[in-house]
């Protein structure tokens, strides 16, 4: 029977140990990715809410006749 070449190397930790570490790293990365996605979604929601509040607030401000209108977003948003 042929032996596993990885486990035969001097000083080798064996295949199982490396695979477990690899799986653990991937699980941690999956958790981090999920947290980043949720954070980005939350921040997008907060920004949209803030932009809506700004829009509603500015539309309710009385403007004196003859006052030039300024678009603070330059039409970009």
Render pLDDT for 54-76 as a digit per residue (tens, 0 to 9). Answer: 888 877 777 777 777 777 777 66
Model confidence pTM above 0.75:
no
Buried b (16+ CB within 10 A) or exposed e, 54-64: eeeeeeeeeee
SS3 (DSSP) at 9: coil
SS3 (DSSP) at 10: coil
Buried b (16+ CB within 10 A) or exposed e, 21-34: eeeeeeeeeeeeee
More confident residue, 55 or 30: 30
- pLDDT the model gives residue 1: 44
């Amino acid at each position: 029977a042929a032996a596993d070449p990885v486990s035969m190397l001097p000083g080798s930790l064996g295949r199982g140990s490396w695979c477990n570490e690899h799986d653990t790293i991937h699980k941690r990365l999956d958790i981090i990715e999920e947290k980043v996605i949720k954070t980005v979604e939350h921040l997008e929601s907060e920004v949209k809410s803030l932009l809506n509040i700004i829009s509603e607030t500015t539309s309710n401000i009385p403007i004196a006749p003859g006052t030039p209108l300024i678009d603070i977003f330059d039409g970009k948003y």
